[in-house]
Amino acid sequence: MGIHAVSVMLEALNRDAQHATIAKFIQNELDAEREKVALLHQQGSQQAELLREQGAQQFELLRQQQAPAGGSMHSRRPETLKIDISKYRGVEEDSVLRWFVELDDAIRARRIDDGDMQVAFAQSNLAGRAKTWALGLKLHDPYAFGSLEVFKSRLRQTFEPPRAEF
C-alpha cells in the first residue's frame, strides 16, 4: 500500500482510531523486526558453535600430528645421551684426529643437528692455545667457521703436525 492509500484510510477514521491503527502498525513492524533479529541471533549462535567444533577438530588433528610416535606428550625431543669429551688444547700430545672422533660421537649422541650449534659445541670443548686461536679468528670474522667441516679443516691445518713424505 502506498502513502496516499494509507492517508485516505486514516482520514476516514476518528482521531483515536487513527492513533490505534498507527500504534498497531508500528507494533506489527516491531514484531517483524524482532523476529528477524531472533532468527539472525539463532543463525549466529549456530555458526559460532560450528566454528568451535571445527576449531576443536583442527586442534585435535594438530595435537595428533605433533604427538610422538610412542604416544607420550611429555617428551617431544628424542632422548639424548650426554657424552663428555676431552678438551682439545692444541699441544703436541693432543691428537686432533682422535679429538674429532670424540667430537663427532658426542654430537651424534646429543643429537645436535644445527650447524651453528655443532660449531659452538666444538668450540666449547677447546682449551689453551686452540681456544685462543678460535676466539682470535672469530674476533676478526664472526663467520670464520661457517660449518663444522670448515671448523675442523681450519683446526686441522693449524694444529696437525706436518706429515713426512718419503
Grid cell in block for residue 38: 531472533
Q: Judge if 111 and 60 occupy the same domain.
A: no
Is residue 165 included in any domain, yes or no? no
- The residue range of the domain holding 52 is 3-66
Is residue 86 included in any domain, yes or no? no
Count of structural domains within the chain: 2
Residue 88 bridge partners (DSSP):
126
**Residues 6 or more apart from 148 whose CB is under 8 A from it?**
107, 115, 118, 119, 122
Asked if residues 85 and 127 have their Cβ atoms less than 8 Å apart, the reply is: no
Q: Judge if 50 and 102 occupy the same domain.
A: no
Closest CA to 137 of 118, 157, 151: 151
- pTM as predicted: 0.52
DSSP 30-64: HHHHHHHHHHHHHHHHHHHHHHHHHHHHHHHHHHH
Q: How high is the pLDDT of residue 5?
A: 76
Asked if residues 129 and 151 have their Cβ atoms less than 8 Å apart, the reply is: no
pLDDT in tens, 89-133: 999 888 999 999 999 999 999 999 999 999 999 999 999 999 999
The pLDDT mean for the chain works out to 87
